[in-house]
Amino acid sequence: MRKGQNPAKFVKDVARPQRITVALLNYIPFLSGFYAETLDVLKVCMKSMRKDAGLPFDLMVFDNGSCAEVRDFLIKEKDEGRIQYLILAEKNMGKGGAWNIILAGAPGEIIAYTDSDVLFSPKWLSRSVEILKTFSNVGMVTARPFRTPPEFYEGTLKWARENATLENGQFIPWETFLEFNLSLGQTEEENKKVYAETTDWRITYRPERSAEDVQSKGIVAFAGASHWQFTAYKSTLQQFLPFDMDKPMGQVRQLDKRMNDAGLLRLMVSDPLAMNMSNTLGYLRGELGKEKGKREKGKGLARRVLEIGFVKKILLAVYNKIFNWYYS
């Protein structure tokens, strides 16, 4: 039998979520090997997103079955008010499983999704939302221009030809192009060829405005976007749920494809406001900008042996097998 009245009945106001939810997906199963620096990367990611984002937001973190040290850090961040919503999954549900929960459950009208290894620059959020609100029929906006597969932005180009000014050329500076691709483990030499043989699509959109705003030059965006970081309306993202991915990674282009097939715009801001750090803080240490020859010069004999093609292939295969024994 109930005794007394629930005190919650006398609460007249409840907290309201921010209009924007930044949703971060994290997975760090242990803190050694490939994952040795990933907790530090996560900390830098979270700190950078808060530094002058340009708009207020709530932070939602979905942890996909990380180790105890990482969970303890996230719980502490929530207790100290730096995370507003924290979900701790018992096991790794894969990116698709996590997206099904994040994209359906985030409380904001706008969701700014990010992987846990992204370094943000000031105004990254406000610039993304500006494009999201200004262009019509937008699916997603990524806070960095880079070259993405053309087959995933065909719908964007079709819209731009009819509604905006569309230009084709090498608009992304070589340094900006190279910086991002080096973070993916690619070499400078192979990127020279790619850069020379590919181009960018720049879109300038000037929607109808009032008479006093006739001098507006319009908003510039690049065609393309990516699943590793994007801003979108929650109502738009929910059209593409659920995601049924049978692998933890490698199938995330489903979102890219579904948006393009639906004719929604996939856009990027015109300057780099987000950067992939991958699994180390090497980018922050200035390692990404060094020439390959300089990197090789400082390596000892043992390190050079490890870089020999067949040796590297065998050792990585062994590492992958051990990883699967423990975590598959």
Tokens matching residue 145: 């221009």
Which pLDDT score is estimated for 328? 58
pLDDT, tens digit, 9 for 90 and up, residues 228-237? 999 999 999 9
The residue extents of the domains of the chain are 17-276, 298-327
Distances (CA, A) of 180 to 175, 204, 323: 9, 24, 27
Which pLDDT score is estimated for 86? 98
Residue 7 has pLDDT above 90, yes or no: no
**Once rounded to an integer, what is the mean pLDDT over residues 308-314?**
70
Domain 17-276: CATH superfamily, name plus number: Spore Coat Polysaccharide Biosynthesis Protein SpsA; Chain A (3.90.550.10)
Place of tokens 């929530």: 78
* Rg, C-alpha atoms of the chain: 22
Q: By the 8 A CB rule, do 62 and 23 touch?
A: yes
Which pLDDT score is estimated for 214? 46
pTM for the model stands at: 0.84
**H/E element, 120:** strand 118-120
**pLDDT, mean over the chain:** 87
Which pLDDT score is estimated for 3? 75
- DSSP output for 164-176: SEEEEE--S-HHH
Task: State which amino acid sits at residue 269.
Answer: V
- Output the CA torsion sign for 106, 111, 117, 123: negative
pLDDT, tens digit, 9 for 90 and up, residues 281-291? 988 877 545 54
Phi, psi of 77, rounded to the nearest 5 degrees: -60, -40
pLDDT, tens digit, 9 for 90 and up, residues 198-245? 999 999 998 875 444 545 578 999 999 999 999 999 999 999 998 877
Q: By the 8 A CB rule, do 3 and 43 touch?
A: no
**Once rounded to an integer, what is the mean pLDDT over residues 51-66?**
97
pLDDT, tens digit, 9 for 90 and up, residues 150-194? 999 999 999 999 999 999 999 999 999 999 999 888 889 999 999
